[in-house]
Amino acid sequence: MEIEDLIIDDRRRGIFRVHRSSMTSVDLFRREQGQIFDRCWIYLGHESEVEHPGDYLRRTIAGRPLFLVRGKDDQVRVFLISCTHRGALICRRDAGNADVLQCFYHAWSFNTNGKLIGVPGEDAYGPYFDKSELGLKQPPRVESYRGFYFVSFNPYVDDLVTYLAGAKDYLDLIVDQAEEGMRVIRGSNKYTMKANWKLLVENSLDGYHLVPTHQTYLDYISSLGTDDSGQTAASRIVGTAKALGNGHCVIESPVRNGRPIAHWHPLFGEEAREPIARVRQRLVEKYGEERTHRMADTSRNLIIYPNLVINDIMAITIRYFEPVAPDHMEVTAWHLVPREESESMLATRLDSFLTFLGPGGFATPDDVEALESCQAGFRATETEWSDISRGMLSPAKSTDELQMRGFWRQWHANMQGLSHTDVQDGPVTETEAVPALATDD
């Protein structure tokens, strides 16, 4: 099947379908690496994870080993980990602090600015051997927004703020909740799924599955004293869905189960009621009631295309997933919190995070089972298409699928060598597709 035929997007009839080979084909998976992960901005880490000079963290991004490090000059830099001598990995740990990073193979040493500063037996090299030519290599583009660092292997990619499009406003809503800035809690949750990475994109934006898939969690919350008792898919108050441009999408819903940021719930205990009220009052004084309502009383699941999800629900989770094969991904999740939060409120937030979003929580095992079940179902190749048409001809709700269509339209454009597309529902416009930026190859 030709790439242009992988998606049926009939906006007049309200039909949107995705061919399931997009989830199973090795050839398409390889094409994704070149057309998407080598060309877009990809999330690397948060500035708070390298807070002090010498702090570094190691990540695998778009299949490449990278590390983020803060130098003695307080500048944050990103380097490919591969030693410029024979290629061995420089960083042997996921995180740490060091003045010098030494390759264990032949002991070539680099400082936190990436310069080669030590070569054992350097006198064995000829007169034209120049250490200044052999420093650690950097990705073509590195930029940050509000503490979130991204890399791109495409030197011609739009600047990060332009790329973020409407997602930028939602990052602002998250970061502005804190008085002294946000920080990532040390440690992470890591797990794998035997499923295609795009299934997790869909799932992270899918309000439709909440009641049938996570009923156990809703029953648990109801037992603690909330008005969710007896909720059904038909009666539950739903939120809205938006496509934000460039494949970024979001769902927003009213907060019902409490959030440590300015929305109390019985599960937090009476001692948390007053501190939460003080947080809310501070937000109102600084931002006004309308913006505070969006911050405190509205939850959001945000996808930053292609593979970063930020869940700002009962806790704030940064979730990054690295595609490994058409049917395999590696997932890492971190917890983002306000710097000024008290120990007791932080404990409440962490408990909320692990209860729902942790690998052993109420939600994540359900979701893993659902996505792996989908991937297993794709082996029934005679059923060729997945339907993502819900809500296509009506105003989008969080239980509809506009947000997934926004992602898929961007994916489809990228896979055809286009950089932008009209990700909204509605009539196709003349600006639906714009050719990708030229490269030098």
Classify 54 in phi/psi space as left (phi over 0), alpha (psi -120 to 50) or beta: left
Phi, psi of 250, rounded to the nearest 5 degrees: -150, 150
What pLDDT, on the 0 to 100 scale, is given for residue 349? 81
Q: Is the pLDDT of residue 40 over 90?
A: yes
pLDDT digits (tens, 9 = 90+) for 341-385: 888 888 888 887 787 777 788 888 899 999 999 999 999 999 999
Q: For residues 364 and 27, which has the higher predicted lDDT (pLDDT)?
A: 27
Mean pLDDT of the chain: 89
Give pLDDT tens digits for 117-172.
Answer: 999 999 999 999 999 999 999 999 999 999 999 999 999 999 999 999 999 999 99
The backbone torsions φ and ψ at residue 280, rounded to the nearest 5 degrees and listed phi first, read -65, -40
Please state which of the ranges 228-242, 250-264, 336-350, 367-381 shows the lowest mean pLDDT.
228-242
Is CATH 2.102.10.10 correct for 42-152? yes
Longest dimension (CA), the chain: 80
- Measure the CA dihedral 130/137/185/312, to 10°: 160
**What mean pLDDT is predicted for residues 206-213?**
78
SS3 assignment for the chain? CCHHHCEEEECCCCEEEEEHHHHCCHHHHHHHHHHHHCCCCEEEEEHHHHCCCCEEEEEEECCEEEEEEECCCCCEEEEECECCCCCCECCCCCEEECCEEECCCCCCEEECCCCEEECCCHHHCCCCCCHHHCCCCCCCEEEEECCEEEEECCCCCCCHHHHHCCHHHHHHHHHCCCCCCEEECCCCEEEEECCCHHHHHHHHCCCCCHHHHCHHHHHHHHHCCCCCCCCCCCCCCCCEEEEEECCEEEEEEECCCCECCCECCHHHCHHHHHHHHHHHHHHHHHHHHHHHHHHHCEEEEEEECCCEEEEECCCEEEEEEEEEECCEEEEEEEEEEECCCCHHHHHHHHHHHHHHHCCCCCCHHHHHHHHHHHHHHCCCCCCCEEECCCCCCCCCECCCCHHHHHHHHHHHHHHCCEEEECCCCCCCCCCCEEECCCCCC
What's residue 233's pLDDT? 43
315 vs 65, higher pLDDT: 65
pLDDT reported for residue 128: 96
Quote the CA–CA distance of 275 and 261 in Å, as a whole number. Answer: 10
- HSE value, Cβ hemisphere, 13 Å, CA-based, for 32: 26
**Which is more confidently placed, 115 or 223?**
115
User: What does the pLDDT read at residue 350?
Assistant: 84
What confidence score (pLDDT) does residue 286 get? 95
State the pLDDT at residue 224.
65
Q: What is the mean pLDDT of residues 178-189?
A: 92
User: What does the pLDDT read at residue 64?
Assistant: 96
pLDDT at 214 over 50: yes
Place of tokens 């030693």: 83
Task: Locate CATH 2.102.10.10 in the chain.
Answer: 42-152
434 DSSP β-pair partners: 420
Residue 92's pLDDT band, with cuts at 50, 70 and 90, is confident
What does the pLDDT average to over 410-438?
A: 70
C-beta of residue 299 within 8 angstroms of C-beta of residue 316: no
Count of Cβ atoms closer than 10 Å to residue 244 Cβ: 23
Q: Report how far residue 22's alpha carbon sits from residue 6's, in angstroms, rounded to the nearest whole number.
A: 7
Tokens of 397: 């709700």
pLDDT value of position 360 = 81
434 has pLDDT over 60: no
Closest listed residue to residue 163, CA positions, set 147, 152, 174:
152
Which residues belong to CATH 3.90.380.10 in the chain? 164-404
Q: Counting every residue, how long is the chain?
A: 441
User: Which pLDDT belongs to residue 227?
Assistant: 52
Span 212-222, mean pLDDT?
72
Q: Is the pLDDT of residue 221 over 80?
A: no
pLDDT of residue 219: 73
Which CATH architecture fits 164-404?
Alpha-Beta Complex (3.90)
pLDDT (average), residues 432-436: 39
Mean pLDDT of 53-82: 96
Confidence of residue 225 (pLDDT cuts 50, 70, 90): low
Contact 404, 49 (CB under 8 A): no
Report the pLDDT value the prediction gives residue 432, as an integer from 0 to 100: 41
Q: Are 410 and 249 in contact (CB under 8 A)?
A: no
